[in-house]
Homo-oligomer: A and B are copies of this chain.
Amino acid sequence: MSPTLAEIRAWDAADPLAGFKRRFVLPEGVIYLDGNSLGALPAAVASRVGATVSEEWGRSLIRGWNDHDWIGAPARVGAQIARLIGAKPHEVVVADSTSVNLFKLIVAAVACQAPRKTILAEPGNFPTDLYVAQGVAGLLDGVRLTTVTADKVLETIDGDTALVMLTHVHFKTGARHDMAAITARAHEVGALMLWDLCHSAGAIEVDLAAVGADLAVGCGYKYLNGGPGAPAFLYVAERLQGELASPLTGWMGHAAPFAFGDDYRPAAGIGRFLCGTPPVLGLAALECALEAFDGAPMAQIEAKGQRLCSLFIELVEDRCAGFGLTLVTPLDPAARGSHVSFAHPDGYPVMQALIDRGVIGDFRAPDVLRFGFTPLYLSFEDVWRAAETLREVLAEETWRAPRFQTRARVT
């Protein structure tokens, strides 16, 4: 028997993170379950970005690089992310996109692992990870990408593996890899390990130091709420920073960018993984967005996220039985991230009908309904209302309306 609304409201009343919802702008009548794709707008961001445009750029002009320390933003914001993923402040930098950062780290890792040539990943990983690795394999002599299903990863890592590259929490299923075990196995045979934290950072507890992680990348616009297309981050363990070289040797990664010399010389630390001029507006939004995490330990965020997900699963299994939904995400909270996926043969129109009623999740081909549970701005009652709306849409079959069948450009 799933909990009653009265019980659920009592949970909200006792939730230490309940007040954090006020740090976000959420449209009236919307339950937003897609923070795993684009985080909601933190309330402070609009005025911060406005000040960056009007006060900083408008008044300081070129002097802003010094006067407002725009030049320090990639490292400064990186340090703020570091505290959310168990890294040291100088091990994380904000730059470029996740895809570009993957390229930098894959090439850097493979180069220092010669004669090993194999990049090991899993099929169905987030596409850009596989695509970028395929690009590297096409570029560098002998480098190859091998994919094995999640259950075969541990046994496949061997002395020929240069790099293991996995997404910590799977974008579609929500399944979580055992970061400690896989990293340990990689190290045991001398492989490097690259974790994609796109669906973990800001949602679940990640402790890169504790697992002895080598490399990681992650996204600024999902659970970190940095806004659409926010700059991404990358992590390189301190012990590897001197040894790894970015193939994208842009001027911002130079030891002395403003000496304007002709020869590239990489910066000493994590700064060598910068490339072009930092995107100041995007960095300002992300820096401000990260302040929404102040006072919320990641352990507490993860714990609430697990309860939100478990509640949703319980309510849906209880109240939407017989409507063709199949749970895709692991039931065990420790084996998943902060989103829940159900397969449905008519997943696309069902999600459109749900969005039409104000419950925003998303659809992932071929048949997955994806619901992200962001602990900072969702209440237990939101989960209850989302499950109820899903039940209505399925029971009333509103999703059969022709207007819900047409695919949007971005799904």
Contact = CB atoms under 8 A, between A and B. Distances in A.
Interface of A: 25, 27, 30, 32, 34, 37-38, 40-41, 45-46, 49-50, 53-54, 56-59, 61-66, 70-71, 96-100, 102-103, 107, 123-125, 127-128, 130-132, 134-135, 138-141, 147, 172, 221, 227-232, 246-252, 254, 257-264, 275-283, 285, 355, 360, 362, 364-365, 408-411
Given A66-B410, A128-B251, A135-B247, 11 more contacts: A41-B61, A46-B58, A49-B49, A49-B53, A65-B409, A131-B251, A135-B249, A139-B139, A147-B262, A221-B277, A227-B280
B61 A40 contact: yes
B263 A134 contact: yes
Query: Could you say how many copies of this chain the assembly holds?
Result: 2
Contact of A249 (B132, B257, B279): B132
A365 B259 contact: yes
Contacts of A409: 65-66, 71, 258
Contacts of A232: 276
Nearest to A123: B262
B128 A250 contact: yes
Contacts of A71: 409-410
A140 to B, nearest CB: 7
Nearest to A135: B249
A139 B136 CA distance: 11
Contacts of A139: 107, 139-140, 247
B34 A62 contact: yes
Contacts of A283: 229
